[in-house]
Chain A
C-alpha cells in the first residue's frame, strides 16, 4: 500500500525514506567488507533492518488519522472493484435503491402524519375532551356549556375551547361561496399557541356570551377571496347574512386540527361564548358543544390530569344526580389531540411501513446472496491478502466498506428517484390523509434514509464479510486452478438466506391477500341502495345569528323553497327523478352528526343522550335511492309542519329500540326534551349509507316538510351529463335565491368508490410491495440454485457418467428448491399468522387466519420457487459429463 501517505507530512516521510536507505547502504557496505557477495550483503542488510514499508506505515498510523486514511483507501479499492463488475454493482444498487427509496417514501408520510400530527408548540399538552355515558351506550356525546366552564375552572387546563364546525355562506363576492367554518371559544388560538400573520387573534379573556362578531380567516381565503388585500383588517365579511369584522389572517402554514379533512381545512374562525343567541340558554342537560379541546397545564402528565379530572367528574355526579344518574356511568376522558387527527390512519400507515420494511429486508437478503456468491469467487483474493499479512479485521473492514458503499449508493439513487417523482407520488395518496400537505423530503427524512442505508449495508454486508474472512488461506490456495469452492457453511448461509427471503415474502403476500379479499368483499357488498345514475348537488341555506333575518326560519318557509326546487329540477335535461334531503342523507358522507333522542316507552331517564343518525328527506328520497319500504308507509305531501311529526326508521333502529314490539306507532323525542313527540310511521331496510363496513347503523328519517335543515343535498336520477349538470343545477337554485352557494356536485358511484380510497390505497401499496417481494425472492432462489448447480457441475457430471437418469437430476435440483420454499413457507406461515392478527382491525369480512388466502399464497409462492429453480435445474440436467469432468 504505497500511496497511503497522503495525510502525513510528506517531508517527514521523505526524510525517513532517505535515512533508512542510507542505513541500508551502510550496512550493505559493511557486509561486503565482511566478505559477503554484494547481493547477499544487501539481502542480509534488509533482513536485519526489517520492512521499510511497515516502519513507515506504523509511523503514519501513529502520527496521522489512520481511520480516515484506511477508509479512503478501502473506498478507492472498492470503487476499483466495482468498476470491474458493473453488472453485479448495478443489480445491487438497483435493489437497494428500490428498498431504501420506497422505505423513505413511506417514512416521509409517517413522519408528517404520525410523528408530527400537530403543527403547534408543545403538542403533547393538547388533548381532546370526550364525554361518555357508557351505561346508555352513548360515546363521545356533546358537552354542555356548564361542563365546559367546570373544566375551564378546574385548574387542570390552561385553556379549554369548545368547537362547533360547519360551513357558512360567504356573500358579497361574485359567486356566493360556502366556506368551512368553526365557532370556537375566544381562547382557541391562545390554546393552540399560534400567531396570526396579519392583525390579531381573539382576546382569550373576551367574555361575550354570543358571537363577538370578530372573524379570523385563513391565508388561503385571504388570497382567494380578497386578493391578499393588505388592508383587510377591520373590513366586514357577511357570513350567513351576519356581519363580522376581519381581525386577523393566519399564516400560510397554519392548518387547523380535527378528525376530518374538512375540519382541518377550516378557513374562518369566529369567537363565541356559546351562552347567548343563537345558542340556547346554558343548562347542564343541553348538550350543544360538539367537541372540545384543551391545553394541559405545563408539565402536567396526561395520567395525572386524567386522575384529577376523574375526581372532578365524581364530585359533579354527586352534585347533580339528576343530570348524571349513576346508571348512566358518566365519564370524561382525555385523548391526546394528535391521536384524534391520525386516529384511523395509524394502523394502515404502520402496516405500510412494516410492508416496505420487509421489502427492504428482502432486498438486503438478495444483495447478501449476491455478495456471498461473489465472496466465493473472491476466495483466492482474500486468501492471498491474508497470506500477505492482512489481518482478519482488515478484511472485514474492507468488505464492509464495500457493502456500505453499495447501500449508500443505492440510497442516493433511491432518494434521487423519490425526489424526481415526489409530485407524482403525492397524487397517489388519498387526499383524506391528514397533514398530506406537509409531507416533504426534509432533514428528518434524509437522516432516516442515511440511517436505513447504513443499517442495510451493515445488515447485508456482515454475513458475507465474516464468512469470507474465515477462509483458510492454505486450503483455498491449494485449490488453485480448480476454481474455488464455497465451503459447506457458505452454502448453508445461502440457503438460510433464501429461506428467510421466502418467509418474509410469504408474510407480505398473505397480508396483501387478506387486504385484497377485504377490499373485494367491500367492493361487492350489497349496498342496500342503488347509486347508479344518481348525482347529488349540495347547497346551503344561511343560518343567521338573528332568527328575524332568516328567510328560511320555519319548516314551512323552507318547504316552499324545496318544493320549488323539486318542481324546477324535474325539468332539467335528463332528470327522471328528483329528491331533496339534508346533508346527512347524502350516502357515505363522513361528517356525521348524531342527535340525542328519548323514547316514550322507556325505562331510562328522560334527559339522557341516546344518539342516532338523523336526516330529513322529501318523500321521493327512498324510491330515488332504491331503499325499499318494509312496513308502514313513506312520507307524503300531507306530513307538513302543522301535521303530527312523523319519522321513518331503518330495521337496525327498530330492532335496537323496540326489539320485541311493533315499531309502527312508537313515539320518541329527537334533539332534546322540549321538542314535540315524533311518531314512527314506516320501517325501511338497512342501507349502507353511513358506512360500507356496517349495515347495522341505526338511522331515523324525518320529513323535510317538518324540519329546518340548512345543509341540503339535491338528488337527481336519470341519464345525466356530469359535465353540464352542476351548472344547470346551480342556475336553477340561484334563479330562486341568487345568494345561495351551490357546490359539491358528485356522482354517487364515485362517492361509493371514493369511500374506499384509503382502503384501496393501502391494499394497492401492500400488494405492490408483496409482488416486489415475490419477485426478489424468486430472483434470490434462482441465484442460489444456479450457484449450487454450478458448484455441483462435476458431481452431476459424474452421476450422469455413472448412469444417473437426467430426470433424476432434474428432480434432485427441483426438490432442493422445493425444500427451500417449504422451509420458508413454514417459517412464513407462523409469521403471517401473527401479522394477520395484528392487522385484524383493517380486515372486512375475512378472518385473520383465512385458510383460502393462506393456502393460495403458499401455493403461489411454491410455484414461483419451482419456476425459479426450473431454469438452473434444466441446465443441470443437460450437463455433458465429458465437459463437466474436463472442466477442472
Chain B
C-alpha cells in the first residue's frame, strides 16, 4: 500500500510543479481543480492528499507560499514555484520523458521483432 502511494505522490508532485509552472501562483484548491480538469476522471485521487505534498515540496524548497486573498476574497494560501522548483521541474520532466520513451519503445516492440 505504501509503495503504491509513493509512486502516486511522486507523480502528483510533478503535476503540482507543472501546474504552478503553467498557471503561476495558485492556491491549493486551484491546483486541485486544475489537476482534476486536465486528468478528468482518470485520476481517482483524494484531493486531500494534495496538501501534505504541498507541505513537503515547500519543506524541500521547490515551492514557496504565503497567505493571500482568493478571487472570491476568501483567505487562501498561494503557492508559487521557486527557482529550485523550476530546476527540479525541468529535471523531473526530462526523467519522466525518458522513462515514458523507454517504456513506449518496449510496447512498440512486437514479439516477432526480437527473432
Separation of A50 and B51 alpha carbons in the complex (Å): 12
Does the CB pair B49–A50 fall under 8 Å?
yes
Q: Which of A26, A27, A51, A55 touches B51 (beta carbons < 8 Å)?
A: A55
Separation of A25 and B76 alpha carbons in the complex (Å): 11
Q: Which of B43-94 contact A (CB under 8 A)?
A: 46-49, 51-52, 54-55, 70, 72, 74-77
Separation of A22 and B67 alpha carbons in the complex (Å): 12
How many interface contacts (CB-CB < 8 Å) are there between A and B?
58
Contacting chain B: which of A13-21, A432-440, A781-789, A828-836? A13-21
Chain B residues positioned under 8 Å from A62 (CB to CB): 52
Closest to B53 in A: A59
Closest to A17 in B: B51
Closest to B32 in A: A23
Q: Which of B5, B29, B54, B72 touches A27 (beta carbons < 8 Å)?
A: B29
Chain A residues positioned under 8 Å from B13 (CB to CB): none
Separation of A52 and B49 alpha carbons in the complex (Å): 9
Cβ-based interface call for A496 (8 A)? no
Cβ-based interface call for A472 (8 A)? no
Q: Which of A1-50 contact B (CB under 8 A)?
A: 12, 15-16, 19-20, 22-23, 25-27, 29, 48-50
Cβ proximity bits B20-33 to A, threshold 8 Å, 1 near / 0 not: 00000001110010
Chain B residues positioned under 8 Å from A49 (CB to CB): 46-48
- Supposing A22-B74, A50-B48, A52-B48 touch, asked if A12 and B55 sit within 8 A by C-beta, the answer is yes
For the complex formed, measure the closest distance between the CB of A52 and the CB atoms of chain B, giving whole angstroms.
Answer: 6
Does the CB pair B55–A20 fall under 8 Å?
no
Does the CB pair B29–A26 fall under 8 Å?
yes
Does the CB pair B29–A23 fall under 8 Å?
yes
Chain A residues positioned under 8 Å from B55 (CB to CB): 12, 15-16, 59
Chain B residues positioned under 8 Å from A15 (CB to CB): 55, 77
Q: What size tier do the contact residues of chain B reach?
A: 10 to 19
Q: Which of B32, B52, B76 touches A55 (beta carbons < 8 Å)?
A: B52
For the complex formed, measure the closest distance between the CB of B13 and the CB atoms of chain A, giving whole angstroms.
Answer: 13
- The SS class assigned to the B binding surface is helix
For the complex formed, measure the closest distance between the CB of A54 and the CB atoms of chain B, giving whole angstroms.
Answer: 8
Separation of A52 and B52 alpha carbons in the complex (Å): 11
Closest to A12 in B: B55
Does the CB pair A19–B46 fall under 8 Å?
no
Does the CB pair B77–A19 fall under 8 Å?
yes
- The SS class assigned to the A binding surface is helix
Does the CB pair B49–A22 fall under 8 Å?
no
Chain B residues positioned under 8 Å from A58 (CB to CB): 5, 49, 52
Chain A residues positioned under 8 Å from B28 (CB to CB): 19, 22-23
Separation of A58 and B46 alpha carbons in the complex (Å): 13
Chain A residues positioned under 8 Å from B29 (CB to CB): 22-23, 26-27
Does the CB pair B46–A29 fall under 8 Å?
no
Does the CB pair B51–A16 fall under 8 Å?
yes
Separation of A22 and B48 alpha carbons in the complex (Å): 11
Chain B residues positioned under 8 Å from A59 (CB to CB): 52, 55
- Supposing A27-B29, A49-B46 touch, asked if A20 and B74 sit within 8 A by C-beta, the answer is no
Chain A residues positioned under 8 Å from B48 (CB to CB): 20, 23, 49-52, 54-55
Chain A residues positioned under 8 Å from B75 (CB to CB): 22
Chain B residues positioned under 8 Å from A12 (CB to CB): 55
Closest to B52 in A: A59
For the complex formed, measure the closest distance between the CB of B39 and the CB atoms of chain A, giving whole angstroms.
Answer: 14
Does the CB pair B46–A50 fall under 8 Å?
yes
Closest to A46 in B: B48
Separation of A23 and B77 alpha carbons in the complex (Å): 10
Separation of A23 and B47 alpha carbons in the complex (Å): 9
Closest to B54 in A: A19
For the complex formed, measure the closest distance between the CB of B106 and the CB atoms of chain A, giving whole angstroms.
Answer: 32
- Supposing A26-B29, A26-B74 touch, asked if A19 and B52 sit within 8 A by C-beta, the answer is no
Chain A residues positioned under 8 Å from B49 (CB to CB): 50, 55, 58
For the complex formed, measure the closest distance between the CB of B94 and the CB atoms of chain A, giving whole angstroms.
Answer: 27
Does the CB pair B47–A29 fall under 8 Å?
no
Does the CB pair A19–B70 fall under 8 Å?
no
For the complex formed, measure the closest distance between the CB of A402 and the CB atoms of chain B, giving whole angstroms.
Answer: 26
Q: Which of A508-546 contact B (CB under 8 A)?
A: none
Closest to B31 in A: A23
Closest to B75 in A: A22
Separation of A59 and B52 alpha carbons in the complex (Å): 6
Q: Which of A556-601 contact B (CB under 8 A)?
A: none
Does the CB pair B70–A26 fall under 8 Å?
yes
Closest to A16 in B: B51
Given contact pairs A25-B74, A55-B52, A58-B5, a sample of 16 additional A-B residue pairs in the complex whose CB atoms are under 8 Å apart = A16-B51, A19-B54, A20-B51, A22-B27, A22-B76, A23-B48, A26-B29, A26-B72, A26-B76, A49-B46, A51-B46, A54-B48, A55-B46, A55-B49, A59-B55, A62-B52
**16 sample A-B contacts, Cβ–Cβ < 8 Å, listed by A number:** A19-B54, A19-B77, A22-B29, A23-B29, A23-B47, A23-B51, A25-B74, A27-B47, A48-B46, A49-B46, A49-B48, A50-B47, A50-B48, A50-B49, A55-B49, A59-B52
Chain B: residues with CB nearer than 8 A to chain A?
Answer: 5, 27-29, 32, 46-49, 51-52, 54-55, 70, 72, 74-77
Chain A: residues with CB nearer than 8 A to chain B?
Answer: 12, 15-16, 19-20, 22-23, 25-27, 29, 48-52, 54-55, 58-59, 62
Closest 9 CB pairs of A and B: A50-B46, A50-B48, A59-B52, A55-B48, A26-B29, A49-B48, A49-B47, A23-B29, A16-B51
